[in-house]
Amino acid sequence: MGGRLSLTARLVLTLTVGATVLWILAAAVTVNILREEIDSAFDTGLQETAQRLLPLAMHGLREAAREGHGDDDGGEIPLLREGGSEYIVYQIRDASGALLLRSHDAPTTALTETVQPGFATSNNLRVYTEGTRDGTFLIQVAESLDHRQKSLLESATALFLPLALLIPLSALGIGLAVRRGLAPLHELSQEVSTRGAANLAPLEPHVLPVDLRPIAEATDQLIARLRSALEAERAFASNSAHELRTPIAAALAQTQRLIAELGTNPEAARARQVEDALKRVGELSEKLLQLARADAGMAASAVESDLMAAVRLLCRDSASRAGTPERVILEAPAGTQLLAPIDIDAFGIAFRNLLDNAIAHGSPEEPVKVSVGEKWVAVTNGGPAITPDVLEALKRRFVRGQTHSSGSGLGLAIAETIMAQVGGEVRLSSPAPGRQDGFEARLVFPRA
């Protein structure tokens, strides 16, 4: 679970849980202290009640004795208000233990088994006992322990209840603080994620917090090394392809002249094999030059261009090179537009590779169809369907499908590189949409 959480989520969760646990512990300690304070306050209240009631009760009892009034069962002090109840009760006894006076809710039996001055706990009651100096009278004041528990529960509820509101508020506050604190890290992460073969611009460590500067500086060093390696690779491919053009063309011209001179000589067959090999080398050098240009990031354009003129021109050119005007069919009504933020030359390279692949590897009995949508152009050819695993690998460099036709395995890789630079993609489908066989390659441009 922890591996799927973001750094921000983990920090917010950890800090919120930690703060909640600390608050609960602090509240628990506070409740324990509060319980002791409540017990002390109620004990003091019992003691003060006894000390105040005893002189008054003594005076009342002596007056009653003079007037000849008495109650063998103990005089019960009635409540001032009917239907009320008391949580503090008391009894007054004489030296022999006889009950002389009691409160309304006090029992007639003794509150404690033994009568000793001070505090005692018995029968879920907290009892305070105190007598007169001469031992004539003795008072016991008692309070139910349930009353104390209720008071403690109410106090604890008043203490814990705000936590239910504080916990989500603290989580929100912690989340905002963490997000704000980690904002530079997120910005650095986004900047690093945009770096690739098409964008090797250095980062800006000086605008980052001190803690993140070593990461940015190390990343810049890695980008610089990668830039140098890619530039060396591109330069090698471009220079090699460029330098090979002239000698390959010269060798091809000499071979074709040799074939013409040999005529029907049996050696002419070997010369034609050399011619085919030179043509493949020439095509490979052309693909390597296109790949070098694509890797150089030449595709992106700041403005959108209408690509329909290039689509029509390339379709006619491909059909002409195939030797049959009907080999390539463009299905696009008059007035169709294909607007995309891509360099025209880059689009020409990508689209021509799709056409060349369709003509070379498609069924010669079926024409290559080109269809155009609002933000896409698709090239469809006949032929057996391609398995999904092979289809997935076709956009890799130097990977060729199950075909007997010649090729370099770079056409779709070049198209994919170019489309990635403009935020688009190359989508491959086999069988072609609406068919049981065939192959479709589609250049899809991003929507504005």
Q: Tell me the CATH number at 424.
A: 3.30.565.10
Domain total of the chain: 3
Compute the Cα dihedral for 365, 371, 376, 377 and give only its sign.
positive
Mean pLDDT throughout 139-159?
85
Whether the pLDDT of residue 413 is over 80: the answer is yes
At 141 the three-state DSSP class reads strand
At 304 the three-state DSSP class reads strand
Whether the pLDDT of residue 234 is over 70: the answer is no
- With 0-12 / 13-18 / 19 or more C-beta atoms within 10 angstroms meaning exposed / middle / buried, residue 417 is buried
Compute the Cα dihedral for 386, 390, 394, 400 and give only its sign.
negative
Q: Are residues 27 and 130 in the same domain?
A: yes
**8-state DSSP, 4:** G
Q: How far is CA 32 from the centre of its chain?
A: 42
CA distances from 62 to 95, 102, 403 (A): 14, 16, 126
Q: Are residues 279 and 305 in the same domain?
A: no
Given 271, 296, 321, the domain boundary residue is: 296
* Token pair in block for residue 152: 């403690």
pLDDT band at residue 376 using 50, 70 and 90 as cut-offs: very high
Q: Determine the Cα–Cα distance for residues 365 and 134; give it in Å rounded to an integer.
A: 131
pLDDT band at residue 379 using 50, 70 and 90 as cut-offs: very high
**Assigned domain for 371 exists:** yes
**Assigned domain for 182 exists:** no
pLDDT in tens, 34-90: 888 888 988 898 888 888 888 887 777 777 767 765 554 456 665 545 545 567 888
pTM of the model: 0.49
Task: Name the residue range of residue 53's domain.
Answer: 2-77+86-151
Q: Of 88, 167, 78, which is closest to residue 128 (Cα–Cα)?
A: 88
**Assigned domain for 167 exists:** no
Q: Are 425 and 444 in contact (CB under 8 A)?
A: yes
Q: Which amino acid, one-letter code, is at 308?
A: M
Q: Are residues 143 and 21 in the same domain?
A: yes
CA distances from 120 to 77, 111, 129, 192 (A): 24, 10, 8, 74
**Assigned domain for 162 exists:** no
Given 272, 296, 320, the domain boundary residue is: 296
Neighbours of 419 (CB within 10 A): 25
Tokens 């990031």 locate to 297
Highest mean pLDDT among 71-85, 214-228, 374-388: 374-388
Residues 6+ apart with CB under 8 A from 306: 337, 338, 339
Q: Determine the Cα–Cα distance for residues 429 and 386; give it in Å rounded to an integer.
A: 9
The predicted structure's pLDDT at residue 311: 92
Q: Are residues 351 and 272 in the same domain?
A: no
Q: Are residues 306 and 439 in the same domain?
A: yes
Neighbours of 410 (CB within 10 A): 23
Q: Are residues 290 and 318 in the same domain?
A: no
